[in-house]
Amino acid sequence: DTEVTQTPKHLVMGMTNKKSLKCEQHMGHRAMYWYKQKAKKPPELMFVYSYEKLSINESVPSRFSPECPNSSLLNLHLHALQPEDSALYLCASSQGQDGAFFGQGTRLTVV
């Protein structure tokens, strides 16, 4: 099983809403990632969790709050987002520092 599962696939939220993106992997990978991808651009790293601890935060605004409840799950809590935060949010996992496997992403639209 080389699958990373993300839910929901699509999300529309208002600027005052609170929502969460979810990610799950059952490959036993010890690192999990959140990336943000704007249209026609490469993915940009947001957060990295290693052994369930936050190891990298790429100066992401506090309106994005990651959480790693256990080694298989990764959440991204969203609050008070701006329209410019609309993007494809990708979760990935990896065994160590090798190439990451990505989920299909959540297409987020902030209205």
Partner 1 sequence: GENVGLHLPTLSVQEGDNSIINCAYSNSASDYFIWYKQESGKGPQFIIDIRSNMDKRQGQRVTVLLNKTVKHLSLQIAATQPGDSAVYFCAENSNDYKLSFGAGTTVTVRA
Sign of CA dihedral 38, 43, 47, 53: positive
Task: Compare residues 94 and 108 and give the one whose CB is closer to partner 1.
Answer: 94
Binding-site string for partner 1 from residue 56 to residue 95, where x marks contact by CB under 8 A and - marks none: x---------------------------------x-x-x-
By CB under 8 A, residue 43 contacts partner 1: yes
CB of 103 to partner 1, least distance (A): 5
The kind and range of the H/E element at 37 are strand 31-37
Q: How open is the CA angle 96-55-94, to the nearest 5 degrees?
A: 25
The only residue of 1, 83, 84, 99 in contact with partner 1, by rule CB under 8 A: 99
Retrieve residue 46's tokens: 């947001």
Pick the stretch among 11-19, 50-58, 67-75, 78-86 that binds partner 1 (CB under 8 A): 50-58
55 makes contact with partner 1 (CB under 8 A): yes
Lookup: tokens for 94: 């990896």
Beta bridge partners of residue 25, listed in sequence order: 4
